[in-house]
Structure 1
Amino acid sequence: MPSGTVLAVCSADTDVVLDGVGPSGIDKRPHDHRVAVGPLGLTTDHVCDTKHHGGTDQAVYAYSEREARRWSTELGRDLPFGWFGENLRIDGMPITDAVVGERWAVGDDGLVLETTIPRTPCRTFAEWAEEPQWIKRFLARADTGAYLRVLSPGTVGAGDRVVVTDRPDHGVLVRHLLAGVDADADALTRLLSDTQIPPKVLREASRKLARA
């Protein structure tokens, strides 16, 4: 099974006010200490737009260091830990190409996470990035990172190892639930046959199957 390393653990201590959006918790900053993680995510973090962000199915947001470096090169600017609004910047393992429902054991304090849905870029992210056509470009890459739910609470810190401990065999990747990305109807049907599927995975997979 794949494994990786947490490079940074990030949360928003205060809001940033964006033009046309208002207060947002997108401005995540890295911690130099371990952070407790509960059912709704990092206890040091907060969400302003609870209609579209947060909740148990989107408790933690992980983003790939490899993809962050690629964007940094393309944009010609430094993109520090937390810039993508991520809670965990992870290196060495697939994030958007993780299988939906795979489980990650993080560190040695009992934290277990499960992948759910991809991040869908919104107006807030576009205002924060201040890059032309940002939503379109970010979606075109389709490496948007993954949301996770918390199966077992614990703490997380920079340097923690992330190990995939269980991987479903339905074949649906987090990436496949993005709009505009092809997904196999049979694989989606296998995913939807799971009676314990999280609500937001059920919603997104059902939408994709309807279009497949």
Structure 2
Amino acid sequence: MTGLVEAVCVVHADVPVGRRGVELSGIDKRPVQGPIDVHELGLAGDHSRDTKFHGGIDQAVYVYDAAEARRWATELGREIPPGWFGENLRTSGVAVTDSVVGSRWRAGNVLLEVTISRKPCGTFARWAAEPRWVRRFTERADVGAYFRVVEPGTLQSGDLVSIEYVPTHGVTVRDLFLGANPRGIELLLEQKNLPPKVERDARAVLRSPPRRDC
């Protein structure tokens, strides 16, 4: 299975998104021309202001599916350009939210590994400026996926995406987000050397009932 990198996005400018308009966020990401260097903490020219909840090795690259973005554009009646979700890569042709945790993607000459889901927050809601945004985004559960960088390199828009490896436990990013597939998550936790945030989120699923509505 192959896909396409439609856009590579990094921070355009830090924007005020706090309740008093003071707190800054790097959510305003926009497409850039490549090739762009990618290292273990993400893309050159990108950064996270809130490093407690964003960024780091397990959340180095955030990817959103072009098909899911088009569905939102239709529902909201507005253009949803690459980077609007705060994503680094807008891709097409391969499942993102429904990718299996631990799958490895080759994009350009970079090797990426699927880790955890995006969790919508107040910053995202204020950026989107849509009614009940966190609830709606959560209910749809098209949340995109974070990746860690296994092999650094460069990538750019137009690069092909190929899936080089898919684990057998079957747990998807959507499963982690919704708290589904507990048996698969037990198998996931049997894997050696899990990224810390994957283990954290998987154990949280087993401690909590499945999420129905939020």
Residue 203 (structure 2) pairs with residue 206 (structure 1):
yes
Distance 1:182 1:49, change over 3 A: closer
Equivalent position of 2:165 in the other structure: 166
In structure 2, the residue corresponding to 1:190 is in which secondary structure?
helix
Aligned positions, number? 207
- CA separation in 1, counterparts of 2:84 and 2:36? 18
Distance 1:19 1:51, change over 3 A: closer
Structure 2 gap segments, 5+ residues each: 210-214
- CA separation in 1, counterparts of 2:128 and 2:143? 14
Structure 1 gap segments, 5+ residues each: none
Amino acid at match of 1:148: F
Runs of 4+ in 1 over 2 A off after TM superposition: none
Equivalent position of 1:134 in the other structure: 133
Equivalent position of 1:112 in the other structure: 111
Percent identity (aligned): 52
Equivalent position of 2:44 in the other structure: 43
Displacement, 1:137? 0.1
Q: TM-score, normalised by structure 2?
A: 0.94
Displacement, 1:185? 2.1
Amino acid at match of 2:183: D
Equivalent position of 1:12 in the other structure: 11
What per-residue deviation string (whole Å, max 9, x for no partner) do you get for residues 7-31 of structure 1? 0000004201124161100000101
Amino acid at match of 1:100: V
Residue 95 (structure 2) pairs with residue 94 (structure 1):
yes
- CA separation in 2, counterparts of 1:113 and 1:15? 26
What per-residue deviation string (whole Å, max 9, x for no partner) do you get for residues 41-90 of structure 1? 00110110000000000000000000101100100011111001000000
Q: TM-score, normalised by structure 1?
A: 0.95
- CA separation in 2, counterparts of 1:18 and 1:115? 28
Amino acid at match of 2:17: L
Alignment RMSD: 1.0
Amino acid at match of 1:174: V
